[in-house]
């Protein structure tokens, strides 16, 4: 399964939530509302989830294999960082990003 497109919608005014991503797989399936979150150890992605009546969250969709989770994480965070770099080039702003891709930690 290949990631064929990623669309990002940045979130303004939130310290931790940076963006939502829509990820297209094999040009046939889309996963919406993948969150890009700035955590204490840097950026990470959170899969779309729903809250039940008890207040517990559960994923609506998620990768089954660690390999797919790694591919998804790298692709989404790379797309986000590329967006920040593009904005920096256009607007002359320096965007801080705490993402360090380390495949050994994925």
Answer whether residue 54 is part of any domain.
no
- 61-to-18, 31, 33, 50 alpha-carbon distances in Å: 20, 7, 10, 10
Kindly tell me if the per-residue pLDDT of 105 is higher than 50. no
**Among all chains, which residue has been given the structure tokens 């207040």?**
55
Q: Is 55 helix (H, G, I), strand (E, B) or coil?
A: coil
Domain containing residue 19: CATH number = 3.30.1120.40
53 assigned to some structural domain: no
pLDDT greater than 50 at residue 61: yes
Q: Are 48 and 34 in contact (CB under 8 A)?
A: yes
Q: How far apart are alpha carbons 45 and 81 in whole angstroms? A: 13
pLDDT tens-place string over residues 26-50: 999 999 999 999 999 999 999 999 9
pLDDT at 1: 86
- Residue 93 in domain: yes
Name the residue range of residue 91's domain: 3-47+59-105
> Which tens digits make up the pLDDT trace of 62-103?
999 999 999 999 999 999 999 988 776 655 544 444 444 444
Number of structural domains, the chain?
1
Q: Report CA dihedral (80, 81, 83, 84) to the nearest 10 degrees.
A: 120
């Amino acid at each position: 399964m290949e990631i064929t497109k990623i669309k990002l919608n940045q979130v303004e005014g939130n310290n931790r939530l940076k963006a939502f991503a829509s990820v297209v797989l094999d040009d046939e399936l889309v996963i919406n509302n993948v969150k890009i979150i700035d955590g204490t150890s840097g950026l990470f992605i959170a899969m779309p989830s729903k809250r039940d009546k008890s207040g517990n969250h559960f994923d609506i969709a998620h990768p089954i294999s660690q390999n797919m989770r790694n591919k998804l994480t790298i692709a989404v965070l790379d797309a986000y960082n590329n967006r920040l770099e593009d904005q920096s080039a256009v607007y002359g702003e320096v965007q801080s990003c705490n993402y360090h891709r380390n495949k050994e930690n994925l």
